[in-house]
Amino acid sequence: MNKLTELNRRRFLQGTGIALSLPAFESFATNTSASGDSPRRLVCVGNHLGFYPGNFFPKEAGQDYVPTSTLKPLETHRKDLTVFSNLDHGLNGGHKGVQGFLNSIKKEEADGFPEKNISLDQAAAEHVGSATRFASINTGIDRGTDMCWTRAGVHVPPINNPAMLFQGLFVNSPKVEREAERKRLRHRASVLDALRDSAGSLNRTLNAADRNKLDQYLTSVRDVERRLQMSKDWLDRPKPKAPIDEVLNEQRQHIDEVALLYDLMALALQTDSTRVATLETGLGFRTAELDLGSYHGLSHHSKSEDRIGQLQIVEAFLTSKLSDFMSRLKEAQIFDNTLIVFGSGMSDGSRHSNRDLPVLLAGGGVQHKGHLVCPADQHNRVPLSNLWLSVLNWFGAERERFGRSTGTFSPMEIGKG
More confident residue, 47 or 229: 47
Residue 242 lies in a domain: no
Write down which residue in 201, 218, 237 finishes a domain: 237
- Average pLDDT of the residues in 177-201: 69
**Residues 74, 6 share a domain:** yes
More confident residue, 72 or 129: 72
Region of 403 on the Ramachandran plot (φ > 0 left; ψ -120 to 50 alpha; else beta): left
Q: How many CA atoms lie within 13 Å of 160's alpha carbon, on the beta-carbon side?
A: 19
pLDDT score of 342 more than 60: yes
Model confidence at 228, pLDDT cuts 50, 70, 90, reads low
Spacing of C-alpha 172 from chain mean position? 27
Per-residue pLDDT tens over the stretch 243-263 = 999 999 999 999 999 999 999
**Residues 341, 213 share a domain:** no
Residue 243 lies in a domain: no
Write down which residue in 237, 259, 275 finishes a domain: 237
**Residues 263, 201 share a domain:** no
Which range, of 32-36, 149-153, 174-178, averages the lowest pLDDT? 32-36
**Residues 126, 51 share a domain:** yes
Per-residue pLDDT tens over the stretch 357-412 = 999 999 998 889 999 999 999 888 999 999 999 999 999 999 999 999 999 997 43
Amino acid 16: pLDDT: 26
- Average pLDDT of the residues in 190-217: 69
- What residues form DSSP beta bridges with 359? 84, 343
Q: How many domains does the chain have?
A: 2
CA distance 2 to 309: 9
What backbone phi and psi angles, to 5 degrees, belong to 158?
Answer: -80, 150
Q: Does residue 49 contact residue 412 with C-beta atoms inside 8 Å?
A: no
More confident residue, 406 or 233: 406
Which structural domain, as residue segments, surrounds residue 214? 173-237
Residue 374 lies in a domain: yes
Residue 192 lies in a domain: yes
Query: Torsion angle, CA of 349/280/226/34, rounded to 10 degrees?
Result: 110
**Residues 402, 260 share a domain:** yes
DSSP state of 62: B
Residue 404 lies in a domain: yes
Residue 297 lies in a domain: yes
CA distance 280 to 298: 19
Q: Does residue 409 contact residue 27 with C-beta atoms inside 8 Å?
A: yes
Q: What is the 3-state secondary structure (H, E, C) of 91-115?
A: CCCCHHHHCCCCCCCCHHHHHHCCC
**Residues 221, 302 share a domain:** no
N- to C-terminal Cα separation, the chain: 31
**Residues 272, 131 share a domain:** yes
DSSP state of 283: T
Write down which residue in 190, 213, 237 finishes a domain: 237
**Residues 374, 284 share a domain:** yes
C-alpha pair distances (Å), 53 with each of 70, 74, 80, 397: 10, 17, 21, 32
**Residues 163, 30 share a domain:** yes
- Average pLDDT of the residues in 92-115: 92
**Residues 204, 283 share a domain:** no
**Residues 142, 14 share a domain:** yes
Average pLDDT score, the chain: 85
More confident residue, 189 or 161: 161
Amino acid 278: pLDDT: 98
**Residues 10, 153 share a domain:** yes
Handedness of CA 407, 410, 415, 417 (dihedral sign): positive
Query: Torsion angle, CA of 93/95/98/104, rounded to 10 degrees?
Result: -10
CATH assignment of the domain containing 23: 3.40.720.10
CA distance 151 to 387: 19
